[in-house]
Amino acid sequence: MLQINTDNRINRDYGPPPEFRPGPVVSLAEVLAVLRFTRRHVPIISLTCCAALCISILYLIIAVPTFTAKAQLLVNSKLAMVDASAVSTVVESQIAIIKSESIATAVIEKLDLAQDPEFATGQFSSTISRLLGWSKPKSEASAARYALEPFERKLSAKRVGPTFLIEVTFESKNPDRAAEILNALVERYITHQMDNAGLQDAKWVKDRLNELSVQALAAQKALENYRKDGNELADSAATIEKLTAAAESTKNTYDSFRHVVRKTEATQQQTSPVFEASLVAGAFPPLKASWPRARIVLGISALGGLLLGVAIGVLRDLLDRGIYASGQEPRLSAQDGGIIERPVPDAVRPDLQSEASAKARAVRFTGSG
């Protein structure tokens, strides 16, 4: 009779059963050891926690609060971009423009931040350098450069998710000052984008077009006036020819410049995106300080005090074990009454107990006088 070994087929199809590995188990002895450690070092841990909390409370009282103003910008591109990496590149490039040195310098000059004590860093070192002759006297340009570093440190800009929104923040000790600086920076950024949106917005292009237009109109008007008043002169034909050539030349120059401007604008719109920045939410003076936060400071100090107390307790236990393992205990000296270290045997054999006790009785205290 044919029999099929189903067990072998199952083992062959599914493989051997997985090996059972028990997880880590905390024994009762370990728990008791932790409890005994905690009970022994409760005074030290409590003392370190209280000291850390006192230091944190003192810091909260002394520390100058910092206020953070926030604003949101929307950056739109006129070119349709379906690639997420291209969109990210566009937004990151605008963030770099917001945090650029040119924008910061313009805001510092507009609000005169170089004279603000919050931004005038390095005054003491620069004064010593000038007294020693190591540097030149401080000018307005150098003062603005000194204010640039703290300004950039207080400024922050980041992208809001996978969108064209940019959140800009600025920190200051004065909430009204923080909102004022941030609004000035946003205004400067939008103005910068509008000035560079295209050649049609450039001031020099408009001025040049107006200048050429005035010249063309003046030449044409001179020609018309001469034709009315200069017909009886002998050289009227030659003069009219010169005026006609001047009028045609100025008109051709004006038309050529307009053609070049339009062609350049069309080329720029096809090769590079044109951005439009708009303000979504302006900056308002913050109602509460962004730092220090009492809960965070107290929580960190309490955790630090607890860890410090545990570390001190572990160190004490290690030192005690080292002393006990060395086999030495403090004894009083017979000569000067001081404390000396004498080795103590770990165990005494039964046949030597009487001799050891006799030696122990022989040791006695005597006065030095």
Give me the mean pLDDT over the 310-316 stretch: 91
Structure tokens belonging to residue 263:
């062609």
Mean pLDDT, residues 116-138 taken together? 61
d(CA 353, CA 347): 10
- The pLDDT confidence band at residue 347, using thresholds 50, 70 and 90, is very low
Question: Does 355 have pLDDT greater than 60?
Answer: no
| pLDDT on residue 199 | 45
pLDDT higher than 70, residue 174: yes
pLDDT band (50, 70, 90) for residue 231: low
- Cα–Cα distances (Å) from 266 to 209, 253, 260, 262, in that order, read 18, 20, 10, 6
Strand partners, 171: 68
Residue 316 C-alpha from the chain's centroid: 41
Q: What is the SS3 assignment for 262?
A: helix
Least confident range from 42-46, 209-213, 282-286, 324-328: namely 324-328
pLDDT exceeding 70 applies to what percent of the chain?
A: 64
Residue 224 has pLDDT above 60, yes or no: yes
Q: Is the dihedral of CA 5, 9, 15, 17 positive or negative?
A: negative
DSSP alpha helix (H) spans, the chain? 6-14, 28-40, 42-62, 84-98, 101-111, 123-132, 140-154, 175-195, 203-229, 236-271, 294-325, 353-362
Q: Is the pLDDT of residue 58 over 70?
A: yes
Confidence of residue 332 (pLDDT cuts 50, 70, 90): very low
In this structure, what is the dihedral angle of CA atoms 53, 54, 57, 58, given to the nearest 10 degrees?
-150
Per the model's pLDDT, the better-predicted residue between 118 and 333 turns out to be 118
Q: How confident is the model at residue 346 (pLDDT cuts 50, 70, 90)?
A: very low
The CA distance from 174 to 172, in Å, is 5
Q: Is the pLDDT of residue 65 over 60?
A: yes
Contact by Cβ (8 Å): 108, 148:
yes
pLDDT at 210: 82
Question: Of 273, 53, 292, whose CA–CA distance to 164 is shortest?
Answer: 273
Sign of torsion over alpha carbons 344, 349, 350, 353: negative
Round to whole Å and give the CA distance between 338 and 343: 16
Residues facing 339 on adjacent strands: 332
Cα(188)–Cα(261) distance, integer angstroms: 26
Query: What φ, ψ does residue 184 adopt, rounded to 5°?
Result: -65, -40
Q: Hey, which of 70-84, 105-119, 121-135, 216-230 has the most confident mean pLDDT?
A: 105-119
pTM equals 0.57
**pLDDT of amino acid 152:** 93
**CA-CA distances (angstroms) from residue 338 to 51, 332, 342?**
36, 5, 12
Give me 44's structure tokens.
């030290």
Report pLDDT for 22. 58
> 345: cis peptide before it, omega within 30°?
no
Task: Band the pLDDT of 216: cuts 50, 70, 90.
Answer: confident
**Do 42 and 149 touch, CB atoms closer than 8 A?**
no
- Backbone dihedral region of 77: left (phi > 0), alpha (psi from -120 to 50 degrees) or beta? beta
175 pairs with which residues across the strands? none
Instruction: Describe the crossing of helices 294-325 and 28-40 by its angle, rounded to 10 degrees.
Output: 100
Return the CATH fold of 67-197+274-281: Alpha-Beta Plaits (3.30.70)
The yes-or-no verdict on residue 361 having pLDDT over 70 is no
Q: Answer with the residue of higher pLDDT: 270 or 191.
A: 191
Nearest CA to 190 out of 60, 36, 75, 294 is that of: 75
Q: Would you place residue 200 in the very low, low, confident or very high pLDDT band (cuts 50, 70, 90)?
A: very low
